[in-house]
Amino acid sequence: MKKRQFKKLLRRYKKGKATGEEKALVEGWYNYHATLEDRSLPEEMLMETDLHAVWQQVVADNTVPVKRISFRKLSTAVSIAAVFLLFGSVTFYFTKFYQERILSGSMVSQPLFMKLGSKQQDIGAYDAYVQLGSGATINLDSVKSGKAFSYDKVNLRKEEDGTIVYKPDVNKWDETSASRNIHTIHVPKAKQSKLILSDGTKVWLNSESSISFPEVFAWNERHVEVSGEVYFEVTRDVSRPFYVKTKDAVVKVLGTSFNVSAYLDENISSTTLVTGSVNVFVPTAEDDVASETSRTLIPGEQWAINKSNRHVSVKSVDIKDIIAWKDGLIAFTNLDLKSIMKKVARWYDVEVEYESYNQNKKFTGGISSRTTLDEFIQIMELYQVKIENQGNGKLVVRDK
């Protein structure tokens, strides 16, 4: 749909002459725009100003147009995908993180429809299991929001938003053994969790992730160990540096925010700095002394190690993409289908098999935690990707 056609549609809507399908398109844009901007519905002039700004950023060389879709199909798409509105060869991308990112529908980067709609699954809920150093396991789903409980020298509180607040019972723990008594929070697939440690450090755990921490931090340093993907906002304490250990690296900080991605089934392990400063290194065989791989990052940089060849690299990245998951969104820019499906598999707790797919096709977009699996499958079909849900926790992917 060209700009003049879109304006004509707005005028038809204003005069009450728009069809049901046309109204769905316009109202979907207006409602979502208002939600994102936290303001009343935009006037037509404001909307056209925004539209003009959008238009100036559209990629000029759009050699591979997006497949034309009828108004009826578009209306259906809008009802299941309020994050994106597709008009001919131009995609308007309105999410909390990507309002300013305008993308063309080329083969290089095919924008993806996703939804912020009603939940059918409690995906992304802040629930978790904690395994105490004694071996006891507590299902935190059974703890009501706003309630606290104590067990085996541990005080836990579940805030109204689901955040788990950990405090050791200082009246019961033995100082000589407390730092060796390790607790672990495990977050399964299709879940997320937020945790506040005893020093006030805030921790977000993505699907299929875990964090291990001592009952009490040592007097001179703070150590945790993680797997999967974890975001930290570390409480500053100059006298006690904070260390995050993964299977492949160690991150040393004083007080800062950063993201660690260290899934065991991924070939790349990375640390991305959001604020402050961190030092990242590969530990030696004997201890955690920094080796020649040591790098000090500045905000916006990502340290990564290739597990196959042990090559270390540092590059600038889009922070919003990296940490979007902690706010309920899987984000990806120019990413191949297989990499996206790895994220989807953790999000929905499914296994993925491939019969055939175009490895050169790239996608840019985001998946809300409120998008159901069936909706995701319908959306992918618009981009000639067939995903069959076999109903036993297994998806089969093929090109249409």
In total, the chain counts a number of residues equal to: 400
Q: Which two three-digit tokens encode residue 294?
A: 């040591």
In angstroms, the CA 279 to CA 273 distance is: 10
pLDDT of residue 134: 80
Distance of alpha carbon 367 from alpha carbon 245, whole angstroms: 29
Amino acid at site 178:
A
pTM: 0.68
Spatial separation of the C-alpha atoms in residues 234 and 253, rounded to whole Å: 8
Q: Where along the chain do the CATH 3.55.50.30 domains lie?
A: 328-399
Give the residue with greater pLDDT, 394 vs 169: 394
Q: What is the mean pLDDT of residues 366-388?
A: 84
Q: Please give the pLDDT value at position 24.
A: 56
Q: Model confidence over 292-344: pLDDT tens digits?
A: 678 999 999 999 999 999 899 999 999 988 999 998 888 888 888 888 899 98
Phi/psi-derived region of residue 271, left when phi > 0, alpha when psi is between -120 and 50, beta in every other case: beta
Token digits of residue 125: 């809920």
Nearest Cα to 261, choosing from 312, 212, 197, 305? 305
What is the DSSP secondary structure assignment for residue 216, as one 8-state letter?
S
Mean pLDDT over the full length of the chain: 73
Res 246 pLDDT > 90: yes
What residues does CATH 2.60.120.1440 cover in the chain?
Answer: 129-321
Report which DSSP code applies to 341. Answer: H
Considering only the C-alpha atoms of the chain, give the largest distance between any 2 of them, rounded to a whole number of Å.
77
The highest-confidence range among 181-195, 198-212, 353-367, by mean pLDDT, is 198-212
Architecture in CATH of 328-399: 3-Layer(bab) Sandwich (3.55)
Q: What angle do CA 279, 285, 288 make, to 5 degrees?
A: 30
Domain over 129-321 is classified CATH 3.40.30.20: no
pLDDT for position 122: 35
For the CA atoms of 186, 284, 322, 381, the dihedral, rounded to the nearest 10 degrees, stands at -70
Tens digit of pLDDT for each residue in 32-45?
A: 444 444 443 344 44
